[in-house]
Amino acid sequence: MESRNLTIFTEFILLGFLGHPQLEIFLFVLVSVMYTVTLFGNISILTLTCLDSRLHTPMYFFLSNLAFLNICYTSAVVPKMLANFLVARKTISYQLCAAQVYITLFLGAAECLLLLVMAFDRYVAICNPLHYTMAMNKGTCLALAIGAWLGSFLMSVVPSLTMKQSLCNSVIDHLFCEVPVLLQLACPSDDTSLNETMMVAGSTFTLLMPFVLILLSYVRIIFAILQISSTDGKRKAFSTCSAHITVVTIYYGSGMFMYMRPKASYSAEKDKLISLFYSVINPMLNPIIYSLRNNDVKEALLKLLRRTKAP
């Protein structure tokens, strides 16, 4: 987020859970484990989709995009968060703070659009199975993925570059830098209504509208699944869709809570917990939810493990 007076600060102080050293030690251990699981899980998804030909399908192509996004998002936030858990004076440079603002904004919006694309893929697969191969060809999948990445950049980062705000405080009562938190550092004399309106408008296009479209698509998908005569077909369809809808509910719920509520309802402690959820927990859960409920992924993993053990 650009600011007229932001350059007077060479660094910011991140309060974190100041005054609770035992909690921060606990969080350091917990977040370290979760970050390790996140990297392992998402790198595994990327590796398996590249090496196993059975996973060269539209669903796993979009899932690999999501896995790459999760790695980038957590790596932009978690390492500095872990370092600050271990020190008394928790600081972050201006450059890294600005980078976290734009990276989290861009990747957060990209995940919203990717989840919408994945819902569209499931909609075509279940509601129009005879036309699925033709509709979701390589060119279409590539165009949808590029559209999600480019659209998120144009709808999040580009508008935020035009936001102007004077900051009169270098103390951030949060775990990392993101737009809603920096809005709270505005000078009392400044009118932040335009910035807040732009944030809500951006959230509407990247959070609310995709969420509504996903819900509508799943209403149609559920009706289509109920018409499947095969019990095994119904089970497989519900299993695939339930994994995606679980991820959607977790991510969009926490995102809308953070970015679409009025400024007066901000609560530092609640915001820290919510931010932990979508910056640490959600990227860890994505590969677990998709892989543990999917036989193709489990079989590909077992095949890779057998190959590595073979002499």
Using pLDDT thresholds of 50, 70 and 90, give the confidence band for residue 203: confident
Indicate whether 74 belongs to any domain.
Answer: yes
In a domain, 82, yes or no: yes
Give the list of residues 6+ apart from residue 101 with CB closer than 8 angstroms, or none.
1, 160, 177, 178, 179, 182
Q: Which pLDDT band holds residue 292 (cuts at 50, 70, 90)?
A: low
Domain boundaries, position 155: 6-309
Q: Is residue 274 in a domain? A: yes
Q: Render pLDDT for 105-131 as a digit per residue (tens, 0 to 9).
A: 899 999 999 999 998 998 898 888 888
Residue 11, pLDDT > 50, answer yes
Residue 67 lies in a domain: yes
What's the structural domain count of the chain? 1
Decide if pLDDT at 64 tops 80. Answer: yes
E-strand ranges in the chain read 11-14, 91-93, 171-172
pLDDT of res. 88: 84
In this structure, is residue 208 part of a structural domain?
yes
What does the alpha-carbon distance between residue 51 and residue 263 come to, in Å, rounded to a whole number? 47
Q: Which amino acid would we find at residue 148? A: A
Global pTM value: 0.86
Q: Does residue 77 fall inside a structural domain? A: yes
Q: Which amino acid is at 243?
A: A
Question: Mean pLDDT, to the nearest integer, of 269-297?
Answer: 81
Give CA angle at 286 (298, 175), nearest 5°: 145
Whether the pLDDT of residue 239 is over 90: the answer is no
Q: Answer whether residue 1 is part of any domain.
A: no
Q: What CATH number is associated with residue 258?
A: 1.20.1070.10
Distance, CA of 113 to chain centre: 10
Q: Does the residue 47 lie in any domain?
A: yes
Residue 27: pLDDT band (50, 70, 90) is very high
Highest mean pLDDT, choosing among 102-111, 173-182, 282-291, 299-308? 102-111
225 has pLDDT over 90: no
Which pLDDT score, from 0 to 100, does residue 162 have? 54
- pLDDT higher than threshold 50 for residue 1: no
